[in-house]
Amino acid sequence: MPPYSAFGCTLQKEIEKMEHKILEIPLNDVIKIRHEVMWPKKPIDYVRLPNDEKGRHFGLFINNELVSVISLFIENSEAQFRKFATLEKHQGKGHGTILLNEIMTIAEKSKLSKIWCNARVEKSAFYEKFGMQATDKTFEKGGIMYVIMEKVF
């Protein structure tokens, strides 16, 4: 078992009651889930980000199985979350919501000014549930329209 480091917060207790556990985890464990969920047919290095080593990586476990991951990149007191992924067979069961809520709490408690992400325009309603709002910054990548969404603390 790798040396995962737990962090304390009230939500942690709630999550454990539900047999969920959220931990800060090593990059390599995140990479495996990203690869399996997002780009299984590409070489594993395809899912690495240039600044991955500087990120904080979190995972949600159910009965000790890592099922959902997300990475947080903090710069100038702003946090960007990226590469949010839940194993396909566990999607749509609320695990991603629990993990993202926890990331929001961590960002807020860390006295950051805001948290933001590049969201697919068609998925913006999902992020609005977390109190995020669409900015006027949009862009297109690979034929998909994205909007920068943020939550200012």
Ligand X SMILES: CC(C)(COP(=O)(O)OP(=O)(O)OC[C@H]1O[C@@H](n2cnc3c(N)ncnc32)[C@H](O)[C@@H]1OP(=O)(O)O)[C@@H](O)C(=O)NCCC(=O)NCCS
Q: Can you tell me which of 35, 57, 83, 151 binds ligand X, judged by CB under 6 A?
A: 83
- Name residues contacting ligand X, limited to 97-126 (CB under 6 A): 97, 120, 123, 126
| 50 CB burial (10 A radius; 0-12, 13-18, 19+) | exposed
Side-chain-facing half-sphere of 24: CA atoms under 13 Å: 10
From edge to edge, which strands make up the β-sheet containing 20-24? 20-24, 56-62, 65-75, 78-86, 114-120, 144-152, 133-141
- Cα–Cα distances (Å) from 27 to 32, 56, 81, 145, 152, in that order, read 9, 8, 14, 28, 27
Q: Does 131 bind ligand X (CB under 6 A)?
A: no
Nearer to ligand X, 104 or 111 (CB): 104
Residue 94 in contact with ligand X, rule: CB under 6 A: yes
Closer to ligand X by Cβ: residue 3 or 63: 63
Please tell me whether residue 93 binds ligand X under the rule CB under 6 A. Answer: yes
**Which range in 13-21, 51-59, 90-98, 131-139 contacts ligand X by CB under 6 A?**
90-98
Q: Which residues bind ligand X (CB under 6 A)?
A: 37-38, 68, 83-86, 91-97, 120, 123, 126
